[in-house]
Structure formats: C-alpha cells, structure tokens
Amino acid sequence: QSRGNEDHVAIIHDCCSKIEAELSNICNGILKLLDTRLVPFAASSDSKVFYLKMKGDYHRYLAKFIYCDTLLARAIGNLMRFGGFWDIANTELPPTHPIRLGLALSFSVFYYEILNSPDRA
C-alpha cells in the first residue's frame, strides 16, 4: 500500500523495470553466445553438457525474475531443455562427474524454485 507515496512507488516500479530489462538483455546475450559460438562447437561431452547446463540455468534465471504471462511457458521450455541434455550427461558422463552433479543440482533448483515442486526436486 502506497499511503500517499505514489511518486515513490512509480519510481520504484520504473527502477525495477529497468533492472529487469538489463538482466534480460544480459541473459539473452549469453544465451545467444551459447547458441551461436559455444554449443555448436563443443568438442567433448563434458563441454557440451556444461554449455547446455549453462543454457538451462540462464533460462531459469529469466523465468525467475520475469513475472509475466509467459512465465509458465518459459518454465515448461526450460524443463524440456534440461531434459534434452540430461540424456547426454547420463550416457556419456560417470555418475560422480562434477558437471553431471551440477546438472542434477540445477535441475533440482528448477523444479523447486520455478515449478514450485519440492517433491520432484
């Protein structure tokens, strides 16, 4: 409740919008770099899974701070991205590999924070 501080509320909303736009630009820039320069040229399973994990993480960051109608769509798309390279990690990396463990943790955070599903996390 603003209680007569409408100007302050407007300034705060404007500031939040600018920060969201800046974060969105940064995340989208990193995602573009991953899509165009890193993932297509990944030589080893380690690097491919690492870059794909990173891609999933940045989609998760976008879903976390952008509160709009597309949040659920982003969450579902993010889940599909994680699922795609989970298969690569399971077949090509040992269970104790640090990148595979990091991927499992990222997947768990995605379920817990974005999909609000602690049981699946």
Q: pLDDT band at residue 72, thresholds of 50, 70 and 90?
A: low
Identify the residue whose tokens are 């974060």: 23
Q: pLDDT band at residue 84, thresholds of 50, 70 and 90?
A: confident
Q: pLDDT band at residue 31, thresholds of 50, 70 and 90?
A: very high
Residue 116 in tokens: 């609000």
What's residue 74's pLDDT? 67
Instruction: Look up the pTM and report it.
Output: 0.78
Query: What is the three-class DSSP state of 120?
Result: coil
CB 76 within 8 A of CB 39: no
Listed ranges 11-20, 30-39, 60-69, 107-116; the one with the highest mean pLDDT: 30-39
Query: Which of 30, 86, 38 lies closest to 61 in space, CA to CA?
Result: 30
Dist CA 25 CA 115 (whole Å): 23
- In the chain, where the domains are located: 6-114
CATH number of the domain located at residue range(s) 6-114 in this protein: 1.20.190.20
